[in-house]
Homo-oligomer: A and B are copies of this chain.
Amino acid sequence: MSLAISTRLAELGHVLPAAAAPAARYRATVRVGDLLFVSGQISEIDGEPAFIGRLGEGLGVAEGVRAAESAALGLLAQIAASVGDRVSAVRQVVRLGVFVAAAPGFTEASAVANGASALIEAVFGDAVGGHARAAIGVATLPAGVAVEVDAILQLAEPG
């Protein structure tokens, strides 16, 4: 039997959140062939936008890492809602886009982004979970959160 994403998260000390409904006019996920595109997920706690503020201005790297981790939990929730709560549903994590709200002079977007990357790799393992990434410091994010992460994944079963 395939390991559940929620079970693997529990082993890592996390709870799989409910998949957030899109905040606006778009879909949480779109599948095309064997690729799954997941919309940007913002940092949240208990379904509410969290880690409000910008890195380098009120928020430090440690909080940014946790914000990125929470956004990655949101990605996992969307993946589970879309293709099932099974680690094996994902053949390869392809790319994460990590957007970090950053004050001028903040240069550690990469360290913050590791909060998302590390969780995704821990859940899927290094081979499947290893991904290409672009991490950038942006001006602002929806709801004033510190981090947003989107994803492209390859699924185990073609659509």
Contact = CB atoms under 8 A, between A and B. Distances in A.
A137 B137 CA distance: 10
A4 interface: no
Given A37-B95, A107-B142, 18 more contacts: A24-B113, A24-B114, A26-B133, A27-B131, A30-B92, A30-B94, A32-B154, A33-B34, A33-B154, A54-B104, A97-B134, A102-B140, A103-B139, A103-B140, A104-B139, A105-B144, A134-B148, A136-B140
Contact of A138 (B110, B113, B136, B154): B136
A43 to B, nearest CB: 13
A37 B110 contact: no
A71 to B, nearest CB: 11
Interface string A80-111: 00000000000011111101011111111111
A23 B110 contact: yes
A6 interface: no
A7 interface: no
Interface of A: 22-30, 32-35, 37-40, 54, 56, 92-97, 99, 101-111, 113-114, 117-118, 121, 130-144, 148, 150, 152, 154
Contact of A92 (B32, B104, B139): B32
A34 B152 CA distance: 15
Contact of A32 (B27, B28, B94, B130): B94
A118 B25 contact: yes
B109 A142 contact: yes
A140 B106 contact: yes
